[in-house]
Amino acid sequence: MDSLVKYVQDEFVTKKELPEFSAGDTITVYYEIKEGTKTRTQFFRGTVIQRRGSGATETFTIRKMSGSVGVERIFPLNLPALQKIEVNKRGKVRRARIFYFRGLTGKKARIKEQLRS
């Protein structure tokens, strides 16, 4: 049964060309919003907290601060409304999932930038 699901995902799910990013990176996600008959592009810029899943079911969570309130959003990688992803900064973290980032405020909430070539 698992091989059948994997076969269908490989054959019929279209894969998008997305940049490589991981937890700790600051990215901007551009996605399409439909309001009635109109469509517009909106962006969400924040720090990647985690990537989870594999294949067609892979998702990633982004966190940003809106004023003094933390806002998190989960995006599936195969979301049809997803237009593009820009990597703004590469972060240097030692974990794959940085949930401790939720409890940090001020200067402690900064992530060191990693220079990748």
pTM summary value:
0.83
Domain containing 58 equals: 24-101
Residue 112 lies in a domain: no
Long-range contacts of residues 64-69, Cβ cutoff 8 Å, at least 24 apart: 65/109
Single-letter amino acid code for the residue at 94: R
pLDDT in tens, 44-63: 999 999 999 987 788 999 99
What CATH number is given to the structural domain containing 67? 2.30.30.790
Residue 8 lies in a domain: no
Has residue 27 got a pLDDT over 80?
yes
Cβ count near 88 (within 10 Å): 12
Residue 6 lies in a domain: no
115 vs 108, residue with greater confidence? 108
97/116 Cα distance (integer angstroms): 20
Least confident of 7-16, 21-30, 75-84, 108-117: 7-16
| pLDDT recorded at residue 25 | 94
Say how many domains are in the chain. Answer: 1
* 105 contact partners, CB below 8 Å, separation of at least 6: none
pLDDT in tens, 80-111: 899 999 999 999 999 999 999 999 888 998 89
Residue 43 lies in a domain: yes
Residue 62 lies in a domain: yes
| pLDDT recorded at residue 94 | 93
Residue 3 lies in a domain: no
Has residue 20 got a pLDDT over 70?
yes
Residue 110 lies in a domain: no
84/32 Cα distance (integer angstroms): 10
Burial, 18: exposed, middle or buried (Cβ in 10 Å; 0-12, 13-18, 19+)?
A: middle
Residue 116 lies in a domain: no
